[in-house]
Amino acid sequence: MGGVVLENLSNKKLSILAVSLLLILIVFFLIGGLIAPAPSNVMNMVTTKCHDITVDVKPKSWYIPRGPAGCDAVDDFDDPIIYQKHVDTRMIVFALWIPYPRDHKQLDMSRWFQNMLTVLQMDIEHRPTNPILENATMKMEVRLGYRNKNDNETDWKELISTSINRPLHCEINGTKNGEQYKCDLVSFFELGSVHYDYYLINLRLPVYPQKPTNQGLGTIKDIWIITIFQNGGFTKVWFALKTTMFPVVLTILVWFWRRIKLLSREPNLLERTLLALGIVLSIMNCPVEWFTIWFDLPWMTIVTDVRQGAFYATLMSFWMIFAGEHIMDSIPKNSLSRYKIHLSLVVFGCLCLFIFEMCEKGMQLANPFYTIWVTETGAHLALAFIILAGMAACTYFLFLSYMIFKVFRNISAKKTALPRMSNIRRKFYMGLIFRFKFLMVLTLLCAALTTIFFIISQVSEGQWKWGDEGISLEYSSAFLTGVYGMWNVYVIGLLSLYAPSHKQYTNADINNSDGSQEEEVQLTQIPTENSALSSYVTKEAED
């Protein structure tokens, strides 16, 4: 046994394998483009202004915006009837029942939505008698409740009750009397699971005469709550893909490692790293998200992000080692310590991602209204982190491109030995060089798409939170499923091509072959820990 499958597989079989993997990748893109709906949905709902006559009574009652138990709604604060009822700001509860009805039919939320992010859009009217102050702060008393379809309509259970502060940033200059200010979106709350059928929000903007609370907010006409959640149809497609790929990758991984264990030597660094990559991909593919359909698991989003972050770290580390092991310079190979600087940078970047994840979503497990974007310092730090993460990803890609360039340069320099070889030997090594270069180009393409996917996902996640509606980076279902398929196809291809070759030749086969065939057999049976290509480029082959 000698070499790897990439070097010993016939051109016909290699072409069949390559075309098969390409067709699988195309299927992933087509599934996202033709079958899966958009990754997320957005509902823009206006709250109902309820008249609260028990403003100083504790505990507070639930204010339901519609139905038989609906509250006493206030349509317009300027209505003369409102003044007759002596309704002031303290007696207003902004209530919202999620989701909205459609065609006079009450809809319900689905556990397929997976998570829910909400932001506020304030409708504030310009009035000289009640101006809005620059950098004003809103103090909100909020209650978040839930119930299911079979529960009584008034049987709302409290999920959380808290008091939060949110900065209010509006364009003050240029707004005329009677016009509405242009205000940034205000971060509200985020749920890691959508386990219940209905959610109820009761929001108050308390005003205390003896305290400077909610001063300078202007004349608030309405509060809109924008709700973003994962599309249920997309979730079903995503779960189906993960359920399908998990046993496929796991089977190929077991086959790969069994081939390695049949060797009379210890696995080399590249093989161990490829094994780690296959294990981490299998962990990421494991469809544990199915449990969210039956159980309330708000921490599942953190688990998903951590698994994907671990895959990023392992994949980037593998690319560094994969390129470094083929640079073929005078530095000793097959040693993990040689890459300690490269790997430490990758680990540091992923550790920063994990810390940021726990500071945001980790704290939201206890309080869904918590957000790092609530303060100006926190918002700047979070935005700076996203920018630095994008810059780090681009820098990594450029450095990886440089390493692959060095690989190509060194291999091209070693090609000067080819004219001195026999025809059989020269064709053999030219074929190896072409196959390897093609694989390195695919690696670079995979790295480019992964970098783009990472940057777009970070920007898209943050755009609702920093309130810049001008930023509209949206990735389609086809891109999501396509990149996911690319990762699986790439790892499957590497596991298949870098497994030890199973070709065996007996002495009778060699004795019965002519001179050219005998030389070819000897070339494919190089008894080395590295591949035949590695053996060739580390020292110039002699004729």
When computed from its CA atoms, the radius of gyration of the chain, rounded to whole angstroms, is: 31
What is the distance between the alpha carbons of residues 40 and 305, in angstroms, rounded to a whole number? Answer: 17
Residue 196 pLDDT more than 90? yes
Q: Does residue 102 sit in the same domain as residue 159?
A: yes
Residue 519 pLDDT more than 60? no
Task: Say if residues 157 and 224 touch (Cβ distance below 8 Å).
Answer: no
Residue 522 pLDDT more than 70? no
Backbone angles phi, psi at 70, to 5 degrees: -65, 150
Residue 138 lies in a domain: yes
Backbone angles phi, psi at 163, to 5 degrees: -120, 130
Burial classification of residue 493, based on how many CB atoms lie within 10 Å of its CB (0-12 exposed, 13-18 middle, 19 or more buried): buried
What residues are paired with 143 via a beta bridge? 161, 202
Q: Does residue 403 sit in the same domain as residue 269?
A: yes
Residue 315 lies in a domain: yes
Q: Where residue 331 sits, what CATH number does that domain have?
A: 1.20.1070
Lowest mean pLDDT among 242-251, 359-368, 444-453: 444-453
Residue 254 lies in a domain: yes
Kindly report whether the peptide bond that precedes residue 500 is cis, defined as omega within 30 degrees of 0. no
- What is the average per-residue pLDDT within 412-432? 65
Looking at residue 489, its pLDDT comes to: 92
Closest CA to 96 of 53, 146, 140, 139: 146
* Sequence-separated (6 or more) residues with CB below 8 Å from residue 117: 190, 191, 227, 228, 229, 464
What is the distance between the alpha carbons of residues 484 and 235, in angstroms, rounded to a whole number? Answer: 14
pTM: 0.82
Task: Say if residues 118 and 227 touch (Cβ distance below 8 Å).
Answer: yes
- What is the average per-residue pLDDT within 527-538? 51
Q: Does residue 64 sit in the same domain as residue 211?
A: yes
Q: Does residue 420 sit in the same domain as residue 379?
A: yes
Model pLDDT for residues 109-147, shown as the tens digit of each residue: 999 999 999 999 998 888 888 888 887 888 899 999 999
What is the distance between the alpha carbons of residues 279 and 252, in angstroms, rounded to a whole number? Answer: 11
Considering 229, 258, 284, which residue would you say is the last residue of a domain? 229
Q: How far is CA 123 from CA 32, 114, 179, 220, 510, in A?
A: 37, 30, 10, 6, 85
Model pLDDT for residues 266-325, shown as the tens digit of each residue: 888 888 999 999 999 999 999 999 999 999 999 998 999 899 889 988 988 888 888 877
Q: Does residue 210 sit in the same domain as residue 250?
A: no
Q: Does residue 187 sit in the same domain as residue 243?
A: no
Q: Which helix (H) or strand (E) holds 125?
A: strand 116-125
Q: Where are the beta strands (DSSP E) in 309-430?
A: none
Looking at residue 235, its pLDDT comes to: 93
Residue 328 lies in a domain: yes
Task: Say if residues 425 and 368 touch (Cβ distance below 8 Å).
Answer: no
Residue 304 lies in a domain: yes
Considering 229, 262, 297, which residue would you say is the last residue of a domain? 229
| Residue range(s) defining the domain that contains residue 299 | 5-39+233-538
Residue 543 lies in a domain: no
Task: Say if residues 458 and 219 touch (Cβ distance below 8 Å).
Answer: no
What is the distance between the alpha carbons of residues 69 and 71, in angstroms, rounded to a whole number? Answer: 7
Q: Does residue 368 sit in the same domain as residue 393?
A: yes
Q: Does residue 201 sit in the same domain as residue 242?
A: no
If one counts the domains in the chain, the total is: 2
Residue 475 pLDDT more than 70? no
What is the distance between the alpha carbons of residues 353 and 309, in angstroms, rounded to a whole number? Answer: 8
- What is the average per-residue pLDDT within 514-539? 48
Model pLDDT for residues 98-117, shown as the tens digit of each residue: 998 888 888 899 999 999 99
What is the distance between the alpha carbons of residues 86 and 109, in angstroms, rounded to a whole number? Answer: 37
What torsion do the CA atoms of 8, 11, 13, 14 make, to the nearest 10 degrees? Answer: 80
What is the distance between the alpha carbons of residues 118 and 368, in angstroms, rounded to a whole number? Answer: 10
Looking at residue 132, its pLDDT comes to: 85
Q: Does residue 114 sit in the same domain as residue 27?
A: no
Looking at residue 516, its pLDDT comes to: 46
Q: Does residue 504 sit in the same domain as residue 359?
A: yes
Q: Does residue 124 sit in the same domain as residue 23?
A: no
Residue 210 lies in a domain: yes
Considering 229, 245, 278, which residue would you say is the last residue of a domain? 229
- Give SS3 for 127: coil
Residue 80 pLDDT more than 90? no
Q: Does residue 188 sit in the same domain as residue 237?
A: no
Mean residue pLDDT of the chain comes to 79
Residue 88 pLDDT more than 80? no
What residues are paired with 145 via a beta bridge? 158, 200
Residue 351 lies in a domain: yes
